[in-house]
Amino acid sequence: MSAPVIQLRDLAKTYQTGGVSVAAVRGVTLDIRRGDFVAVMGASGSGKSTLMNTLGCLDQPTRGNYLLNGVGVAGLDRRQLAELRNRQLGFVFQSFNLLARTSALENVELPMLYAMPVISRRERRQRAIAALARVGLAERHDHFPSQLSGGQQQRVAIARALVNRPELVLADEPTGNLDSRTSIEIMGLFQELNASGMTLVMVTHELDVAAYCQRIIVMRDGEILRDTRNENPRSAAAEIRALDQAERRASHN
């Protein structure tokens, strides 16, 4: 079997601010295999974002080891980390983080501008078009974020996260700003991407949302409290079909 995408060994992160030290993550050991779909849950302040920032190579741990795809992250310099982030990781955020005066297509092209080796303008365009089609937004290339719904903006952000064909997608509360139906649609998109082999780790506050994932990790006070397989994940596609049917019945009455 291939090495896990993520191997964490006794990982810890302590912040020092104004003479006070906060142990945000306190000795986490964890493997995540290729093709897994993991929810990270826990109360506010339990260390979820700190853990995600470490996984995303946005922040260095103060102790322990992190192997991404078998490669130790600790030894890399800033430039190597930036390259690794760009090539192997995709990020999705609660607030979408799209550039406002930039079309959907250009937002998706952005991560390819910094890719090494260089990707030609023509290929950037083709790949962005394909990524937008993959998230169901083929008709929205020229729209600015302000002309898109929240769910559509999140789809653009997901297309942007996918466009460099990352090893791993990290999402911090990706449905936090969406209504319940749109949240199910976004979880359906994640389930589709996962079914096609993408490894996903997402933070969520809501058990309802975590129920679509294959594995649920609960953090408390910077440690893993529970790590369980979800034997029977909810199916977003089935739920959307049921919602559509109910709507059709309602409109016939």
Residue closer to ligand ADP (CB basis): 49 or 204: 49
**206, HSE (Cβ side, Cα atoms, 13 Å):** 14
Contact call for residue 22 and ligand ADP (CB under 6 A) = yes
Rounded to a whole number of angstroms, the minimum distance from the CB of residue 235 to ligand ADP is 28
3-state secondary structure the chain: CCCCCEEEEEEEEEEEECCEEEEEEEEEEEEECCCCEEEEEECCCCCHHHHHHHHCCCCCCCEEEEEECCEECCCCCHHHHHHHHHHHEEEEECCCCCCCCCCHHHHHHHHHHCCCCCCCHHHHHHHHHHHHHHCCCCCCCCCCHHHCCHHHHHHHHHHHHHCCCCCEEEEECCCCCCCHHHHHHHHHHHHHHHHCCCEEEEECCCHHHHCCCCEEEEEECCEEEEEEECCCCCCHHHHHHHHHHHHHHHHHC
Contact call for residue 48 and ligand ADP (CB under 6 A) = yes
Contact call for residue 46 and ligand ADP (CB under 6 A) = yes
Rounded to a whole number of angstroms, the minimum distance from the CB of residue 49 to ligand ADP is 3
Rounded to a whole number of angstroms, the minimum distance from the CB of residue 142 to ligand ADP is 36
Contact call for residue 49 and Mg ion (CB under 5 A) = yes
**Total chain residues near Mg ion (CB under 5 A):** 2
Contact call for residue 15 and ligand ADP (CB under 6 A) = yes
Rounded to a whole number of angstroms, the minimum distance from the CB of residue 121 to Mg ion is 37
Rounded to a whole number of angstroms, the minimum distance from the CB of residue 171 to Mg ion is 12
Joined together, the tokens standing for residue 175 give 């449905």
Rounded to a whole number of angstroms, the minimum distance from the CB of residue 50 to ligand ADP is 3
Residue closer to ligand ADP (CB basis): 15 or 60: 15
- Residue 42 interacts with, from Mg ion, ligand ADP, none (CB under 5-8 Å by kind): ligand ADP
223 Cβ partners below 8 Å, 6+ apart? 26, 27, 28, 47
Q: Which stretch, 45-53, 145-153, 155-163, 190-198, contacts ligand ADP (CB under 6 A)?
A: 45-53
The contact mask relative to ligand ADP for 132-171 (x = CB under 6 A, - = no) is: ----------------------------------------
The site for ligand ADP (CB under 6 A) is made up of 15, 17, 22, 24, 42, 44-50
Binding site for Mg ion (CB under 5 A): 48-49
